[in-house]
Structure 1
Amino acid sequence: MRTRDLVTWPLLAAGGALAWGVCEARAFTLRRFTVPVLPPGSRPLRVLHLSDAHMLPSQGRKQAWLRGLADLKPDLVVNTGDNLAHLDALPAILDAYEPLLDVPGVFVFGSNDYFSPRPKNPARYFLGGSGVGAAGAWERQPDLPFEAMREAFTRRGWTDLSNRHDELTVGGLRLAFAGVDDPHLEYDRLDDVPADAAADLAIGVAHAPYLRVLDRWNALGYPLILAGHTHGGQLCVPFYGALVTNCDLDRARARGLHTHATPGIEPSWLHVSGGLGTSPYAPIRFACRPEATLLTLTE
């Protein structure tokens, strides 16, 4: 092989992979799982899990796809944060969620509900460990309209779970929730309140699936935990999976339905959404399509 070919073919391969990654970031996918967590005799409950939209005002295709999810007729929407990626994106995200705001819902925020994205060295995700202690890195005030978004969500009936407990009756079932503000920013305030044994189901909701949060809720008896943040790895290797999770969760559980257990405790079901978006400074996905998830809860 000529020297010029040794340079040309790797460049072509890299260019092709980049082009594929840009296209894949727009290949929105609905994933479905069945989770056996309801009491005997319960009818199935359809839960739409949304996360990491990272919306830009210009992303009309993503907005339209999100609006179309209302056709699934979910009983409950769970939004695990990172809705925004631009100072002016609030009208776009509210338009995207418009029909879903008529459905009972709960939400927590992630870092990209508070802080607009900035360019970062991607190598830090591979070399910098789990990102624990990220709160200390924010030396600026929040600049995204998170309070206006919170007010818009709650005015339409969605329940804010940021470091809060609350409950909803959905489909005749009493659902108890525990939520935390973003663990990646160390905004989470965990307590020792056991899951409500009188509820038909207790659910933990967080943006980032840090082990301290998962361990606490599993030990306190929460049968179902929902989170996002990881982007499913965003850049994955076929037949190998995610390279990183951007937290201390293991790579094997970067997205999808798994279990989580602490010693001597019955496992909790854990669903980690691979999310719908990316940072505008890294607008690619590889072997990891953007997603929303319909969880069918059964007895």
Structure 2
Amino acid sequence: MSTLATTVRRIALGTTAVGTATLAYAAGIERRRWTLREATLPVLAEGSRPVRVLHITDLHMLPDQRSKQRWVAALAELSPDLVVNTGDNLAHKQAVPAVVRALDPLLDRPGVFVFGSNDYYAPRPKNPARYLFPSNKRIHGVPLPWRDLRAAFIERGWLDLTHVRQLLTVDGQTIAVAGVDDPHLRRDRYIDIAGRPRRGGALRLGITHSPEPRVLDAFAADGYDLVLAGHTHGGQLRIPGYGALVTNCDLDRSRARGASRWGAHMWLHVSAGLGTSPYAPVRFACPPEATLLTLVPRPTAGSDPANTRERAPFGAGADVS
């Protein structure tokens, strides 16, 4: 065999080995590396006390994902003032008990929620190329028991913000909250909640599953301080130094995960979420996450005190699946 042929063969074998190792890491390790991300955002009215918000999204729960359930349940140790769930809790028609088991200790805390596409419909196998080249065509699986999940949340005191505006009292402070149904499925009807929320409270908070710019623009125009969203999985596959490949919506890649400004006055926080579709069970440079947001008063002058960090608490171990 010639020297050139030998070199080409070695390169091919090396590339295959690296690709296999990367896939094994993405599927076997990183997608179970539960991570708590923490951020401080300057969004409260002057004179307000800090508010701790736990943002959970995109569980995509399967019934036998026990370590995910244990890790999420342990988040109650953080004692958040408010829990915000931005949807896609389910990935199986029998997963409602598993989701309730995971969230059970947090359901004792004040909480609000909206649903996403994978609360309404189960995932289906898709061509992997659809991940990199998304289209407007939606492929739905069988209907999921979202009404049962909604009933369980409401029974424990969480508020469904689907096309609802509401005033909440959280740790003695008034928060104006509002939400829309999933814009990814074009179920959003912002007109149902349109209008500026009442002034005088500590915070004006909007929530949505998919951070579609048309919805974010509407919240910003109505004077909201902060919008929380999920759906993007942070890109799910990220290239170090480049970031997310896609967002699976019209949001630009730079905002696929974390906090950013939206317009002159509003903040956006997008969580990379805690799950994946069972038909694409990989994550790379984008571990599954929940986020503890510490909301503080807006600065009167100088730079914003926003910052983020991450940690992996509680030592949950690996999933059965």
TM-score of the superposition, structure 2-length normalised?
A: 0.87
Corresponding residue for residue 154 of structure 1: 154
1:223 and 2:225 equivalent?
yes
Report the AA paired with residue 19 of structure 1. A
2:123 equivalent to 1:117: yes
- For 2:26, give the aligned amino acid: G
Instruction: Output the CA distance in 2 between the equivalents of 1:24 and 1:52.
Output: 16
In structure 1, the partner of 2:190 is: 190
2:305 matched to which residue of 1?
none
Q: Provide Cα deviations, 1:33-66, integer angstroms capped at 9, x if missing partner.
A: 1111122222211000000000111110100000
Distance apart, 1:112 and its partner CA: 0.4
Q: Partners in 2 of 1:82 and 1:170 — Cα distance?
A: 25
Provide the residue aligned with 1:11 in structure 2. 16
Counterparts of 1:110 and 1:50, CA distance in 2: 13
Task: Please tell me the residue identity of whatever aligns with 2:77.
Answer: D
**CA–CA distance in structure 1, aligned partners of residues 186 and 75 of structure 2:** 32
Q: Counterpart of 1:25 in 2: which secondary structure?
A: helix
Which ranges in structure 2 are unaligned for 5 or more consecutive residues? Answer: 298-321
Identify the residue that residue 214 of structure 1 maps to in structure 2. Answer: 216
1:126 Cα deviation after fit: 2.0
1:17 alignment partner AA: T
Residue 93 of structure 1 and its aligned partner are, at CA, apart by 0.5
* Residue in structure 2 matched with residue 89 of structure 1 by the alignment: 95
User: Whole-Å Cα distance in 2 between the matches of residues 7 and 37 of structure 1?
Assistant: 52
The whole-number CA distance in structure 2 between the counterparts of 1:36 and 1:128 is 34
* Aligned residue number for residue 256 of structure 1: 258
> What does residue 297 of structure 1 align with?
295
Give CA deviations for 1:200-255 in whole Å, capped at 9, x if unaligned.
21111000000000000001100110000000000000111000000000000001
Following TM superposition, by how much is the alpha carbon of 1:124 offset from its aligned partner in structure 2, in angstroms? 1.7
The RMSD of aligned alpha carbons is 1.3
Report the residue type matching 1:10 in the other structure: T
Q: Percent identity?
A: 56
Q: Which amino acid aligns with 2:168?
A: L
Kindly provide the amino acid, as one letter, of the partner of residue 106 in structure 1. V
Q: Give the aligned partner of residue 278 of structure 2.
A: 280
Cross-structure match for 1:56: 62
* Residue of structure 1 equivalent to 2:85: 79
Worse-superposed segment, 273-282 or 40-49: 40-49
Instruction: Give the SS at the match of 1:32.
Output: strand
Residue 38 of structure 2, aligned match among 32, 36, 40:
32
Contact preservation (8 Å) 2:34, 2:288: yes
Structure 1 unpaired stretches of 5+: none
Task: Give the greater-gyration-radius structure (CA).
Answer: 2
Residue 112 of structure 2, aligned match among 103, 106, 111: 106
Pairs aligned (count): 289
